[in-house]
């Protein structure tokens, strides 16, 4: 029997078998966290759904700074960590059909399969985890509980609310250094809470992160359009044409919030909060060590890209959350206004070389793209939750979202116009604009009936509708100026209107039974849905011109909704007088019309298309054991076999060397092909030990291990995709604390494991072409995203009041 099948069999067996009861020390009951994911106060053990919760104390003790840290210790969720520049892609139960690698453009997304909530308001944001009450992770579609529809799950950030109990001030600081960095990093912040009377309070926090980075850009072009980026044959040529930028992937993030809470009477609680997060990143967190064409050496933590790729993201959210106890039910209104701006730059040289439109003939050819995104969203969710203690309970809600987005992409090729005997002062080679106007509406709800004290049944439904309007335009200013007779500064944009709309129903069935006071089993069938969108490309003329063109065929202009259906059987259980907690689930997810990444036939512009069908089957197991009052062990394991179930035509664009564009083909996805992005096997282990107090000080030791199996970068490993090796990351810490302060010394990635999490393009891009002089031009687009090397640091927190 294979390892994966044996592991799956063992996991399923644990869901059904009773546990033998050894004798343990007294006072070892596992602490439980109150959650609100089901829209009522309950615990993970009493909620008949698949949910994990990480409390604020654990977030602080383990030094979690973002969702990537948490995901390593939650079964069923895999986060493709690509660093600050490219963000993180959340993959639940292996449901991903896109190649994994750094982003081709800009955007505030996390993969589209998971809804993220900040308090009661949906927002797409990888939030810094400062001053958090807890984070809740729900697996499976949640569209009958939440306004924002979810395909595969939801993540809820629950910040601490202003408190009326008394003034509080918390100061925190952290300093650390990477093995591969030349300077130290630091993170400082504070939180304050101030009651202003018996019914009004203010709470705020602000944090600043200055991360040194650890990726060196080894061959950055000194003067774009003048220096020869491929003069890499000798140290003198390298020094004359390129420069080295040490620790280029810096990150500076300012984040925080200001919250006002007013409770005029006990039945009404109003919270007005402003959240902000500004993130500035210097470059990608990548390695070009797999580039085999360059004559110059490239190390594990080095990039061979010609241009730095800085990026800035600015998120703002104003949220008003009001709850009112009406007696028979609790009314909640959540209003959110969010604004997002992003500006990014990326190296575009290899894409243009690969188009084989003669860019490579220019000896000093280097291209870069600058992109800007502006987004604004207004959403409103109203929810009524019954308060009756009887057997019947219900939830009903309505959701509205209005989104407007504008994206612009400008591609520059300095010196190339003059090389072709023309003039284009701004060097603008390509310009595209994409405008989106989206309106979403939904009503949703659940009704539950408890037939006995032990058995309940829940039915849920969601009625949704959306209307999408788009407008896209593309121009080739340099070509038109040099070869088409246009003026040297002319830009012509002809907008192509598009859009789509859809409506329908989603349903949910859930039932649970309490075998004992400590053992609950549940079964769920639920449906998920994701809207479609425009691909933001200009339409191809008919017939196609003989010259350069980057455009979309009719079938490439837009993609359409996809759906999931989730079947799940799970157990929440506690044993040994609640000293041992074991939760688990087995599942099958059917995915129809999956949205998958592709590229246009003309110009290789990244687009999304619809595939045919896929599925994921697997199991998840999570446990916590308090061996003694001072020693706790937590762990989890998950297995997911995600694969195509129907043939998907032209899924992966691929090149067949020698040559690029002239030899491009498309690989089909076949039934049984494994989906990319997530491991089949992953797990973690965390051990905490509290030593006897020393001179009134508490001393805690912790050790963490997260292990990830191998990952495909492209579906089925086709199109030249990689199988990235699995890895394990070990962390350890010592924490000394009392009631007023705590200090932690820690080591992350103890063994300095070199781990790759994704890849851009494939080894088939490791090719050499020639310029007009016959000298070599080296393609460098094949690189991988990597995790940080070993880091050693110290954290300190000082508390006043509270």
**Given pLDDT bands bounded at 50, 70 and 90, which one contains residue 15?**
very low
Q: Which residues contact 484 (CB under 8 A, 6 or more apart)?
A: none
Residue 16 has pLDDT above 80, yes or no: no
List of residues 6+ apart from 20 with CB closer than 8 A? none
Residue 454 pLDDT exceeds 80: yes
Q: What is the pLDDT of residue 13?
A: 38
How many C-beta atoms surround the C-beta of residue 1 within 10 A? 8
* Residues 6+ away with beta carbon under 8 Å from 63: 69, 174, 733, 744, 746, 795
Residue 506 has pLDDT above 90, yes or no: yes
Q: Is 772 exposed, middle or buried (0-12, 13-18, 19+ CB in 10 A)?
A: exposed
Count CA atoms within 13 Å of residue 24 on its CB side. Answer: 22
Q: Give the bridge partners for 800, in sequence order.
A: 169
- Encoded tokens for 218: 């080894």
99 pLDDT exceeds 80? no
| Residue 359 DSSP one-character state | G
Question: Is omega for the bond preceding 543 within 30 degrees of 0, making it cis?
Answer: yes
Contact 182, 212 (CB under 8 A): yes
Tell me whether residue 782 is exposed, middle or buried, using C-beta atoms within 10 angstroms of its C-beta: 0 to 12, 13 to 18, 19 or more: buried
Please name which of 615, 453, 495, 530 lies closest in space to residue 93, comparing C-alpha atoms: 615
Mean pLDDT of 362-384: 96
Beta strands in 629-726 (DSSP E): 631-644, 648-655, 664-669, 681-694, 697-708, 711-712, 723-724
Q: How confident is the model at residue 204 (pLDDT cuts 50, 70, 90)?
A: very high
Beta strands, E only, 418-545: 428-450, 455-475, 496-516, 519-530, 533-534
Q: What is the mean pLDDT of residues 396-422?
A: 95
Is pLDDT above 70 for 317? yes
Paired strand residues for 566: 526, 589
Instruction: Give the pLDDT mean for 618-625.
Output: 96
**Residue 100 has what pLDDT?**
74
Pairing of strands 697-708, 727-737: antiparallel
Mean pLDDT along residues 606-627: 92
pLDDT value of position 19: 34
- pLDDT value at residue 430: 93
Over range 549-567, report the average pLDDT.
87
pLDDT of residue 18: 34
- Give the residue from 767, 35, 37 showing the smallest Cα distance to 446: 37
Query: Is pLDDT at 1 greater than 70 in this prediction?
Result: no
How far does Cα 66 stand from its chain's mean position?
10
pLDDT greater at residue 17 or residue 369: 369
- Bigger pLDDT: 311 vs 85: 311
Does residue 205 carry a pLDDT above 60?
yes
pLDDT band of residue 294 (cuts 50, 70, 90) is confident
Report the DSSP pairing between strands 302-303 and 216-221. Answer: parallel
Give the whole-number percent of the chain exceeding pLDDT 70: 94
Q: How far apart are CA 218 and CA 242, in angstroms?
A: 8
Summarised one tens digit per residue, pLDDT across range 234-284 is 999 999 999 999 999 999 999 999 999 999 999 999 999 999 999 999 999
Is residue 112 left, alpha or beta, with left meaning phi > 0 and alpha meaning psi from -120 to 50?
A: left
Residue 24 — pLDDT band, cuts 50, 70, 90?
A: very low
720-767 confidence digits (pLDDT tens): 889 999 999 999 999 999 999 999 999 999 999 999 999 988 888 899
Rg of the chain over CA atoms, in angstroms?
27
Q: Which helix (H) or strand (E) holds 412?
A: strand 392-412
User: What confidence category does residue 26 fall into, taking pLDDT thresholds of 50, 70 and 90?
Assistant: very low
3-state SS, residue 718: coil
Q: Are strands 153-159 and 114-118 parallel, antiparallel or unpaired?
A: parallel
Question: Strands 613-628 and 664-669: what pairing?
Answer: unpaired
Give residue for tokens 């989890």: 636
User: What's the length of the chain?
Assistant: 802
pLDDT higher than threshold 50 for residue 4: no
Question: In which band, very low, low, confident or very high, does the pLDDT at 30 lie, cut at 50, 70 and 90?
Answer: low
> What is d(CA 537, CA 552) in angstroms, rounded to the nearest whole number?
6
How would residue 324 be classed by pLDDT, with cut points 50, 70 and 90? very high
Digit-coded pLDDT (tens) for 670-719:
999 999 989 999 999 999 999 999 999 999 999 999 999 999 998 887 77
55-64, 65-74, 289-298: range with highest mean pLDDT: 289-298
Residue entry with tokens 């039915």: 459
β-bridge partners, 613: 592
Q: Give the pLDDT score at 90.
A: 86
Q: What whole-number distance in Å separates Cα of residue 93 and Cα of residue 78? A: 8
pTM higher than the cut 0.75: yes
Residue 651, both tokens: 């899924």
Residue 284: φ, ψ to 5°: -80, 155
Instruction: Please give the average per-residue pLDDT across 433-450, as a whole number.
Output: 95
Is the model more confident about 666 or about 182? 182
- Residues with Cβ within 8 Å of residue 212, at least 6 apart in sequence: 177, 178, 181, 182, 183, 184, 185, 247, 250
* Cβ atoms 783, 286 nearer than 8 A: yes
pLDDT tens sequence across 109-128: 545 688 888 888 888 777 78
**In terms of C-beta density within 10 A (0-12 exposed, 13-18 middle, 19 or more buried), how is residue 357 classed?**
middle
Does 596 have pLDDT greater than 60?
A: yes
Answer yes or no: are the C-beta atoms of 160 and 130 closer than 8 Å. Answer: no
For residue 31, what pLDDT is reported? 60
Instruction: State yes or no: pLDDT of 154 exceeds 50.
Output: yes
Distance CA 227, CA 757 (A): 33
Report the pLDDT value the prediction gives residue 555, as an integer from 0 to 100: 83
Distances 248 to 302, 372, 754 between C-alpha atoms, Å? 10, 21, 18
**Per-residue pLDDT at 56 exceeds 60:** yes
* Terminal-residue alpha carbon distance, the chain: 56
Whether pLDDT at 10 is above 70: no
Task: Pick the more confident residue, 199 or 611.
Answer: 199
The DSSP string of 550-616 is -BB-GGGSEE--EEEEEEEEEEEEEETTTTEEEEEEEEEEEEES-EEEEE-TBT--EEEEE--EEEE
Long-range contact list for 485-488, CB < 8 A, 24+ apart? 488/423, 488/424, 488/425
The residue with greater pLDDT, 100 or 747, is 747
The residue among 775, 786, 769, 774 whose CA lies nearest residue 293 is: 769
pLDDT band at 557; cut points 50, 70, 90: confident
Q: Select from 174, 169, 137, 173 the least CA-distant residue to 153.
A: 137
Pairwise CA distance, residues 709 & 40, whole Å: 36
Residues 6+ apart with CB under 8 A from 494: 473
Q: Is the pLDDT of residue 69 over 90?
A: no
Rounded distance, CA 133 to CA 798, Å?
Answer: 18
* The pair of three-digit structure tokens given for residue 603, joined into one six-digit string: 């110009």
Nearest to 130 by CA among 38, 82, 59: 59
% of residues, the chain, pLDDT over 90: 65
Low-confidence winner among 207-211, 435-439, 659-663 (lowest mean pLDDT): 659-663
- Two tokens at 181? 């960095």
Q: Is 572 exposed, middle or buried (0-12, 13-18, 19+ CB in 10 A)?
A: buried
Question: Measuring CA to CA, how many Å separate 671 from each of 100, 598, 615, 646, 655?
Answer: 20, 18, 10, 5, 23
**Taking a C-beta distance cutoff of 8 angstroms, is the pair 410, 374 a contact?**
no
Which strand (E) or helix (H) includes residue 477? helix 477-482
517: Cα separation from own chain's centroid = 37
C-alpha–C-alpha distance, residues 779 and 767, integer Å: 6
* CA atoms in the 13 A half-sphere facing the CB of 146: 30
């Amino acid at each position: 029997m294979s390892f994966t099948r044996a592991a799956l069999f063992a996991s399923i067996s644990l869901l059904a078998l009773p546990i033998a009861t050894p004798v343990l020390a007294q006072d070892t009951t596992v602490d439980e966290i109150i959650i609100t994911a089901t829209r009522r106060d309950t615990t993970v053990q009493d909620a008949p759904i698949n949910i994990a919760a990480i409390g604020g104390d654990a977030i602080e003790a383990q030094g979690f700074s973002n969702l990537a840290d948490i995901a390593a210790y939650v079964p069923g969720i895999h986060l493709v960590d690509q660093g600050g520049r490219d963000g993180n892609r959340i993959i639940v139960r292996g449901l991903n059909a896109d190649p994994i690698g750094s982003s081709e453009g800009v955007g505030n997304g996390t993969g589209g399969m998971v809804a993220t909530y900040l308090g009661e308001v949906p927002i797409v944001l990888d939030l810094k985890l400062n001053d958090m009450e807890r984070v809740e992770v729900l697996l499976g579609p949640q569209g009958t509980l939440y306004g924002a529809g979810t395909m595969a799950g939801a993540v809820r950030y629950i910040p601490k609310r202003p408190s009326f109990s008394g003034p509080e001030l918390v100061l925190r600081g952290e300093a650390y250094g990477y093995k591969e960095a030349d300077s130290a990093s630091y993170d400082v912040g504070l939180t304050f809470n101030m009651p202003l009377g018996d019914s009004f309070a203010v709470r705020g926090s602000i944090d600043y992160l200055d991360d040194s980075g650890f990726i060196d850009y080894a061959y950055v072009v000194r003067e774009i359009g003048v220096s020869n980026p491929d003069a890499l044959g000798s140290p003198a040529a390298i020094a004359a044409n390129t420069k080295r930028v040490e620790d280029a992937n810096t990150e500076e993030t300012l984040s925080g919030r200001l919250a006002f809470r007013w409770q005029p009477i006990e039945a009404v609680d109003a919270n007005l909060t402003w959240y902000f997060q500004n993130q500035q990143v210097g470059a990608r967190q990548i390695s070009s060590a797999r580039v085999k064409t360059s004559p110059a050496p490239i190390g594990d933590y080095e990039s061979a890209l010609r241009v730095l790729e800085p990026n800035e993201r600015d998120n703002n959210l104003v949220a008003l959350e009001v709850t009112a106890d009406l007696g028979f039910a609790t009314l909640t209104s959540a209003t959110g206004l969010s604004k997002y701006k992003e500006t990014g730059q990326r190296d575009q040289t290899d894409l243009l070389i690969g188009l084989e439109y003669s860019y490579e003939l220019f000896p000093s050819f280097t291209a870069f793209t600058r992109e800007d995104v502006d987004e604004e969203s207004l959403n409103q969710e109203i929810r009524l939750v019954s308060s009756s203690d009887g057997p019947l309970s219900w939830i009903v809600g309505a959701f509205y979202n209005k989104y407007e987005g504008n994206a612009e992409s400008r591609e520059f090729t300095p010196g190339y116009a003059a090389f072709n005997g023309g003039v284009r002062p701004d060097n603008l080679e390509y310009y595209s604009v994409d405008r989106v106007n989206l309106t979403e509406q939904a009503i949703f709800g659940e009704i539950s009936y408890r037939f006995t004290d032990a058995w309940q049944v829940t039915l849920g439904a969601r009625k949704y509708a959306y209307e999408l309007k788009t407008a896209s335009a593309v121009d080739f200013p340099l070509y038109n100026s040099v070869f088409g007779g246009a003026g040297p500064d002319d830009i012509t944009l002809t907008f192509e209107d598009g859009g789509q709309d859809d409506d329908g129903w989603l349903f949910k069935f859930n039932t649970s039974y309490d075998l004992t006071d400590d053992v609950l089993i549940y079964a769920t069938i639920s449906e998920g849905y994701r809207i479609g969108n425009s691909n933001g490309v200009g339409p191809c003329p008919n017939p196609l011109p003989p010259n350069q063109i980057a455009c979309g065929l009719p079938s490439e202009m837009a993609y359409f909704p996809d759906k999931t259906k989730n079947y799940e059987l799970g157990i929440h259980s506690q044993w040994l007088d609640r000293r041992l907690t074991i939760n688990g689930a087995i599942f099958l997810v059917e995915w129809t019309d999956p949205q998958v990444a592709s590229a246009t036939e003309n110009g290789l512009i990244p687009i999304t298309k619809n595939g045919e069908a896929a599925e994921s089957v697997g199991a998840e197991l999570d446990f916590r054991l308090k061996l003694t009052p001072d020693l706790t062990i937590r762990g989890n394991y998950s297995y997911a076999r995600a694969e195509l179930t129907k043939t998907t035509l032209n899924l992966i664009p691929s090149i067949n060397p020698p040559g690029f564009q002239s030899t491009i083909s498309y690989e089909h996805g076949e039934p049984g092909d494994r989906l990319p992005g997530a491991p089949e096997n992953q797990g973690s282990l965390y051990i905490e030990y509290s030593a006897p107090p020393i001179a009134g000080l508490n001393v805690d030791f912790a050790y963490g291990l997260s292990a990830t199996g191998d990952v495909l970068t492209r579906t089925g490993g086709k199109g030249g995709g990689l199988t990235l090796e699995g890895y394990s990351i070990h962390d350890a810490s010592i924490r000394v604390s009392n009631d007023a302060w705590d200090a932690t010394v820690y080591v992350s990635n103890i063994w300095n494991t070199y781990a790759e999490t994704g890849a851009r393009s494939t080894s088939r891009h490791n090719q050499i072409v020639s310029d007009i002089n016959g000298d070599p031009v080296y393609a460098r687009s094949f690189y991988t995203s990597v995790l940080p090397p070993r880091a050693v640091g110290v954290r300190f927190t000082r508390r006043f009041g509270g």
